[in-house]
Copies of this chain bind each other. A is one copy, B any other.
């Protein structure tokens, strides 16, 4: 369930001083709403009642802060999503899906990771956080599918399909500012999960 190795990477920096926490909190909000390049460190420092000096003492650079921002963002969302998936009365896949719509901010700018990827150069230190995040989601989807059906199946292929629908929906949410495409995607997934039933269906899907 836990992405074993990668999560160490994705955790926010070890111990976070009170000031650093405030900075990160504010940065997280401003970066998400305004974009990475559009928000300056002066604004972040001022808004979090902290001097720029402290910001640089804690995070080293703006790029370091950006990295921490995405780590925090992942951590927060991942925990909430896990809770939903584990407590889901119905399909855990749909619970995961719904986490995207239920845990969204009112100021909806779509997926923070997609947006960040669009702004950051290829060699930016936060790129691996972005990739690890997406990877974790895809892996979890695969795992959930494997668990909910026969062990030998096209779980990976189906996981990729659902993943793509999800990413498409999120990217479109960032463009439209609303959910309607994401909702469309949910219907597809419902349909998909019906068409490929647990294993109760007609005979065992040993398949070719």
Chain A residues near B (Cβ < 8 Å): 34-35, 37-38, 109-111, 113-122, 130-131, 134, 157, 160-161, 163-172, 174-177, 181, 184-185, 187-188
Q: Look across to chain B and name the residue whose beta carbon is closest to the beta carbon of A38.
A: B37
Which chain B positions have C-beta within 8 A of A116? Answer: 118
Given A115-B119, A117-B174, A157-B187, 14 more A-B residue pairs with CB atoms under 8 Å apart are: A34-B121, A37-B38, A110-B117, A113-B175, A116-B118, A118-B118, A122-B177, A134-B175, A157-B188, A160-B188, A164-B168, A164-B172, A164-B185, A166-B168
User: Which of B38, B113, B167, B174 contacts A168, CB < 8 Å?
Assistant: B167
7 contacts between A and B (CB under 8 A): A34-B121, A111-B171, A131-B175, A160-B181, A160-B185, A164-B185, A168-B168
Most B CB contacts (10 A, CB to CB) among A114, A176, A187 go to A114
Which chain B positions have C-beta within 8 A of A134? Answer: 172, 175
Min Cβ gap A160→B in Å is 5
CB-based contact B119/A114 at 8 Å: no
CB-based contact B165/A181 at 8 Å: no
> In whole angstroms, how far apart are the Cα atoms of A184 and B37 in the complex?
32
Min Cβ gap A48→B in Å is 22
Which chain B positions have C-beta within 8 A of A175? Answer: 113-114, 117, 130-131, 134
Min Cβ gap A188→B in Å is 5
CB-based contact B37/A176 at 8 Å: no
CB-based contact B176/A164 at 8 Å: no
